[in-house]
Amino acid sequence: MSDLKDIWSPEGDLDHEALKRYLQGKASEEERYAVEKQMAGSDFVNDAVEGLQQFSSTREVQHLAEQLNRQLRKETSATQLKKRRRRIKDQPWTIIAIIVIVVLCILGFIVIRMMMHTE
């Protein structure tokens, strides 16, 4: 069951610097072998490397990554804000319901007490 929660491959993730050197053609023989082994073992890594090879410079990749990170933060913060607002909207009804229940309990206690004293 714990294996289902482990989303990383058993070999570990691809080192950013090693991938950068591989794409620039400056990687050592061992690094190239490791990257190509992971590419062969994972369609995701293979697609990622092929996609990164289409960029002409690393600045483009960095700019795109920063842009994606900004967009992701913006979208996740918007959904978190919506969830908070939804929780706040639901709370007044909960408080009102609790107050009504407490008042009914007190009134019931008073009525029962009055009935006992009149007998």
**Distance between CA 47 and CA 40 in Å, rounded?**
10
**How high is the pLDDT of residue 20?**
79
18-70 confidence digits (pLDDT tens): 777 888 888 888 888 888 888 888 888 888 888 888 877 778 878 888 998 99
**Distance between CA 60 and CA 58 in Å, rounded?**
5
Which residues fall within 8 angstroms of residue 55, CB to CB, at 6 or more apart?
Answer: 61, 64
**How high is the pLDDT of residue 1?**
44
Lowest mean pLDDT among 25-29, 83-87, 110-114: 83-87
List the chain domain ranges: 9-54
**Distance between CA 53 and CA 88 in Å, rounded?**
48
In the chain, % of residues over pLDDT 70 = 86
